[in-house]
Structure 1
Amino acid sequence: MPAAAIAFTTPPLAPRWQRWLVFSPGARIVFFVVTMAILSFAAHAVFASLGWTTKAAGPMRFALALLAMELLPALVTYAILVKGVERRPVGELALRDVPTRGLGGFAAGLVLFSAVVGVLWLAGSYHVLGTNPRANWLPQVLVAGVCAGIAEEVVVRGVLFRIVEEGLGSGWALVISALFFGVAHIFNPGATLWSSAAIAIEAGVLLALLYLVTRSLWACIGLHAGWNIAQGTIYGIPVSGTRADGWLVSTRTGPDWLSGGVFGAEASVVALALCSLCSVALLAMALRRRSLVPAAWHRAR
């Protein structure tokens, strides 16, 4: 196991009460959730008072409000957690990794979802009806791409997976973070138990393994954003049930297990199969590098 796999270790001279109430995995997760909830409430109040939280504000203002209300609380809280509580550099969000791992992950997301669309097209499920050069794509890129990519990866991989891994090891962290990611999408438009299970397996597992192998949130952010932008902005497919105004005007036919139905192609067995293949490759890489972290009680031996 590489030494850099564990980002934080409890200070050896910390008193017992700090070990439980400040530095333990559970305490840090609770601290993050509570602090982020407070900042999110404040951000919502500010933008609601400005009238930016309704559709009447216009697509761009509404998108900027969503960007600020979701992105800022996540990033500020994570900075407080890492710099104030854990007292370490934020290596997993190092800006030097943006041109390499960030853009590499973005390209991988575009290619991976394009492969999904390609298989759906070959299967006779995906059909292009025309183009939409007037598509209002920027608000969607900001919300579904930048905002979802950064905020969700900071919360799910940066906090939940990373901190659970410190205590329970990589295996349980993978299962818990993937299940959380799937359940978090159960309230999306058109969501079903199947779509949430598919999201948990194809995205929750894949992104967690990508973080496990790279120890970089930028790689996960890039892949997440590239996947969403390709899905909605380029191919005109609903993103996790949310209607997309894409450059291509498209439709999908066939049974829901193939097309994904109203939820979008993420609920298709094609996406599930291709993402699972990538997850298997990442898992093999992690095993070869011995990157999996054992539980804390095993490391203590």
Structure 2
Amino acid sequence: MSEAEVLPPPVPPTVEPRWMRWMRSPAARIAIFVVLLIVLGSVARAISHAIYGDSLKHLAFMDVTPLIEALRLLPIVLAYWILVRFVERRRIAELAPRKLVPHVLLGLAAGFALFSAVVGVLWSFGAFTVSGINHDVVWLGPILVLGVGAGVGEEIISRGVLFRIVEEGLGTWAALLISAAFFGGMHLGNPNATTWSALAIALEAGLLFGLVYHVTRSLWVCMGMHAAWNVAQGPFYGIPVSGFDQHGLLASHMQGPDWLTGGAFGAEASVVALALCSILTAVCLAVAIDRGSMVPPFWRRPNRHLPVTI
């Protein structure tokens, strides 16, 4: 018997249906996430209304409970899980459980240190003053909203979905610009928001968090940084967070021109925050360029290689 008769016939490669390939395209995946978010959000709002009625419409940060915040976050988390597991068909490596503790702690430390550096510079200029300690601070609600809610929800949408998927199609530079513009635009509807405050957030946080995700491929780090930045700013230092007034541990006061203090929007609209965040952004960019990890747009990839989440 010849060797050709012993060997089994070759198995032809599996060709995915065209509709499945379309579903996995960057634009389709973003659209699918939006649809999932709308549907699941409607269900979560119905459940919230059944439990709390209309009392959530004007709920203060301090009155938010874990259940209320969980109902707000569940649609985002569940929509992302469905997208990754059933559309992309991969493990959610950017939210790997083994990375949760070390990466979140790293992000928390970095976010608190970064905003403390902003406050330190403002204090050195005489723009930030402290008159005492507030002993009646309510921590739970603001931490749930500003820390957990903003950190988890906004990072999944802005970095986990928008930045990551756009990067696969249009490359890192386009992903940075698009996700940063989206992130800044998200804050235009906040109290005391201006065109400048939205631009400042896009440049200082949108670009920074995008590059932090690109360098680490970990949403945990981004979530920790985002949460710590907000909690340090509001519940700790007593500075408005993205336009929302805060009653913090420190009885603080800002004085000076708006370009320095950020005005009623808070220190995020200060040139100090923009400068310090831009320095860290430049460091992350240098790391990415040195690694050679900047992803080109699809038309400049000879082998159409996509970045791998590790």
Q: Normalised by the shorter chain, which TM-score bucket?
A: over 0.9
> Is the Cα contact below 8 Å between 1:206 and 1:275 reproduced in 2?
yes
> Is the Cα contact below 8 Å between 1:63 and 1:140 reproduced in 2?
no
> Is the Cα contact below 8 Å between 2:61 and 2:145 reproduced in 1?
no
2:191, 2:163 → 1: CA distance?
26
State which structure, 1 or 2, has the greater radius of gyration over its C-alpha atoms: 2
Q: Paired residue for 2:28?
A: 27
In terms of mean alpha carbon deviation, does 195-204 or 94-103 score higher? 94-103
Inter-CA distance 86–63: structure 2 relative to 1 (3 Å threshold): same
Q: Paired residue for 1:89?
A: 91
Q: Paired residue for 2:37?
A: 36
Q: Paired residue for 1:265?
A: 267
Inter-CA distance 94–50: structure 2 relative to 1 (3 Å threshold): same
Q: Paired residue for 1:75?
A: 77
TM-score normalised to the size of structure 1? 0.92
In structure 2, what residue type is equivalent to 1:128? V
Q: Paired residue for 2:277?
A: 275
2:284, 2:265 → 1: CA distance?
27
Q: Paired residue for 2:293?
A: 291
1:55, 1:97 → 2: CA distance?
36
In structure 1, what residue type is equivalent to 2:149? C
Q: CA deviation at 1:45?
A: 1.6
State the identity as a percent.
54
1:137 aligns with 2:139: yes
> Is the Cα contact below 8 Å between 1:161 and 1:177 reproduced in 2?
yes
1:12, 1:255 → 2: CA distance?
64
2:191, 2:235 → 1: CA distance?
18
Secondary structure of 1:129 counterpart: strand
> Is the Cα contact below 8 Å between 1:149 and 1:225 reproduced in 2?
yes
> Is the Cα contact below 8 Å between 2:48 and 2:68 reproduced in 1?
no
Q: Which segments of 5 or more consecutive residues in structure 1 lack a partner in the other structure? A: 1-10
1:102 aligns with 2:99: no
1:222, 1:58 → 2: CA distance?
23
> Is the Cα contact below 8 Å between 2:121 and 2:272 reproduced in 1?
yes
Q: Which segments of 5 or more consecutive residues in structure 2 lack a partner in the other structure? A: 1-12, 304-310
Secondary structure of 1:250 counterpart: strand
In terms of mean alpha carbon deviation, does 89-98 or 61-70 score higher? 61-70
Q: CA deviation at 1:60?
A: 6.0
1:228 aligns with 2:226: no
Q: Paired residue for 1:5?
A: none
What is the 5 A alignment of 1:1-301?
A: 13-20=15-22, 22-51=23-52, 53-54=55-56, 62-64=64-66, 66-301=68-303
> Is the Cα contact below 8 Å between 2:243 and 2:265 reproduced in 1?
yes
- Between Structure 1 and Structure 2, how many residues are aligned? 290
In terms of mean alpha carbon deviation, does 42-51 or 161-170 score higher? 42-51
1:23, 1:56 → 2: CA distance?
39
Q: Paired residue for 1:8?
A: none
In structure 1, what residue type is equivalent to 2:151? G
In structure 2, what residue type is equivalent to 1:100? P
1:138, 1:254 → 2: CA distance?
31
Secondary structure of 1:243 counterpart: coil
Inter-CA distance 196–56: structure 2 relative to 1 (3 Å threshold): closer
Secondary structure of 2:191 counterpart: coil
Secondary structure of 1:50 counterpart: helix
Inter-CA distance 12–279: structure 2 relative to 1 (3 Å threshold): farther
